[in-house]
Amino acid sequence: MIKECCRSLSYNDEERQFTFPLNPCLSHIWNKVKKDIKSIDPDFHLNDFNQLLTRLCDLHNQYSRIETKCIADIFILPGEVLELSLVDDPNPLRMVKMKKGQYLNVNTGRGYSFGDKYKFRDNYILETSEGYILGSVKSTALLSPSCEHIALSKVYIGDYYRNKISDSLWPIFEMVVNNTNPRCNARIPEYLLMARKMGINSFSLLNILNASTHVWG
Give the DSSP letter string of 170-198. HHHHHHHHT-SSTT-GGGHHHHHHHHHHH
Residues 91 and 40 in one domain: no
Higher pLDDT, 5 or 79: 79
How many domains, in total, are found in the chain? 2
Say if residue 138 is in the same domain as residue 79: yes
pLDDT in tens, 76-135: 999 999 999 999 899 999 999 999 999 999 999 999 999 999 999 999 999 999 999 999
Q: Which domain holds residue 128?
A: 63-144
Whether 20 and 32 map to the same domain: the answer is yes
For Cα atoms 86, 150, 109, give the angle at the middle one, nearest 5 degrees: 40
Residue finishing a domain among 102, 119, 144: 144
Of the residues 113, 144, 175, which one is the last residue of a structural domain?
144
Cβ–Cβ < 8 Å for 17, 213: yes
Specify the pLDDT at position 183.
Answer: 67
pLDDT at 31: 86
**pLDDT one-digit tens code per residue, 8-60:** 999 988 888 999 999 887 778 888 888 888 899 999 988 999 999 999 988 98
Q: What is the mean pLDDT of residues 138-162?
A: 96
88 and 153 share a domain? no
Same domain, 130 and 165: no
8 A C-beta contact, residue 44 and residue 37? yes
